Every structure is written in structure tokens, then in C-alpha cells.
Amino acid sequence: MSKTGVNVKIVLASSIDGKIADANGVWRPLCPHDEERFYQAMRWADAIIVGWRTLIHSGLDFSVKGKKITKALVDPRGEINTNHKFFDSNVNNIVVFGYSRLYPQGKMLELRKKNVNVIMSDRYPIEPEFMLSVLADNYGARNVLVAGGGTTAWYFLEKLTDVELQITVAPVVLGDSPYHNIRAPSLSHPGLRLKLTSARLCECGQEVICTYRKHL
């Protein structure tokens, strides 16, 4: 649980060599159980946080069928087109977190006309606790899913004192791709240590689901 009282869960799928997408940004679940695990995590959440690169490459709008949630996009420089389907919802609350010195004023005004709450931070990278505070105080979020990508996942792992990480490891190698499951800067050994809380074989018999916890 974060300082704001929010439960945070990071859910990712990656290759054996730690990539969440190929060099073109493409990743698709290899078995239906992996896909269902992700949708189960979405149903658990009151709010979902996703980075702009993941939004572009996933093809998802991160809505949950039959449930109203808060969808939050981390987009410091305003990379996402205002016509993206992520912003088309009369059901969900939609929030964009931007960096005040880089986010285009015109794009902010366009999104606010669509009832998107564009919130500026004076700090970059945008602090996870700042985002969680907004989601908890303004939208009542208590369970927050971080759905990627690797940079966003790292910020939450680095900054929060209590966070869960679930990684599904698929039996594939993607090689020289820039899309890492956890995109951290160079760290001295032993780096950031997490506690393994569970590991199990997927129902398909080919993937392994590992759950870790950081708790300080």
C-alpha cells in the first residue's frame, strides 16, 4: 500500500529475455489464460495507469466492460493524438498526467473539451505518489493497476515503498528490442531487490507467472 493508502499492482507479460514487445512495439498474448489474467487485474482495479508508448502499441482503450473506472494516461509531452479511442468514453473518468513545461497548451484545451481531466505536474518524471494522490482524492481509487510500459513500471517500483509486481514469462526470445519489462537506469549490484511471493505454471503449461513484492 502506498503512502496515499492505495494498493498498487504492476502487471506485465514479457519474453524470457525481458522484453514486453518486439522492436516494432508489438506484443500479443500467446495463450488465452494470459489475456484473462490481465483482464482480471483490470476488473480488480478502480483506476488503471498506462504510459503513452504502451497505449500506442497495445491497441487497447483500457476500458473494463460493465464497470466504471478511472483511466489515467502518463503522457508528459502530449504524444497521444486527441482523437485516440482512449479518450472516447461516456462511462469512465479519464485523466492525463502531463509535464507543465512540455505539454502543448492547445492539446490540453482539446482534451478538456472532451471532459478529460488534464493534470499538470511541475516535476519530471511525474511522481507516482502525485498521480496516486490525484486518483485517490479526486476519484476514490483504492486499487490501482499499472499496465506498463517498462519506464512507467520502473518509476512505481523505484518510488513506492509497497507495490506488487506480477510478470508472466512467455517462452519466447525477442532479442534486440528497446521495450524492456522494467526499464531502469544502470544499477549497482544487487540492484533493487524484491521478494518473490509466488511462482506457478500457467494452465497452458508453457508460461510462468511470478509475483514479487517490494515492501520497505
CATH number at residue 105: 3.40.430.10
Whether 87 is covered by a domain: the verdict is yes
pTM, two decimals, is: 0.95
Whether 79 is covered by a domain: the verdict is yes
Whether 1 is covered by a domain: the verdict is no
Q: What's the number of domains the chain is made of?
A: 1
Whether 122 is covered by a domain: the verdict is yes
Determine the pLDDT at residue 200: 98
Four-point Cα dihedral 76, 79, 81, 86, nearest 10: -60
Determine the pLDDT at residue 90: 80
Whether 71 is covered by a domain: the verdict is yes
pLDDT by position in tens, the chain (length 216): 667 789 999 999 999 999 999 999 988 888 999 999 999 999 999 999 999 999 999 989 999 989 999 999 999 999 999 999 999 878 899 999 999 999 999 999 999 999 999 999 999 999 999 999 999 999 999 999 999 999 999 999 999 999 999 999 999 999 999 999 999 999 999 999 999 999 999 999 999 999 999 987
Determine the pLDDT at residue 170: 96
Whether 34 is covered by a domain: the verdict is yes
Whether 2 is covered by a domain: the verdict is no
Determine the pLDDT at residue 91: 82
Closest CA relative to residue 202, chosen from 64, 2, 75, 13:
13
Cβ atoms of 97 and 70 within 8 Å: the answer is no
Cell of 52: 503513452
Full domain range(s) for residue 155: 7-215
Instruction: Say how far apart CA 49 and CA 74 lie, in whole Å.
Output: 7
Whether 89 is covered by a domain: the verdict is yes
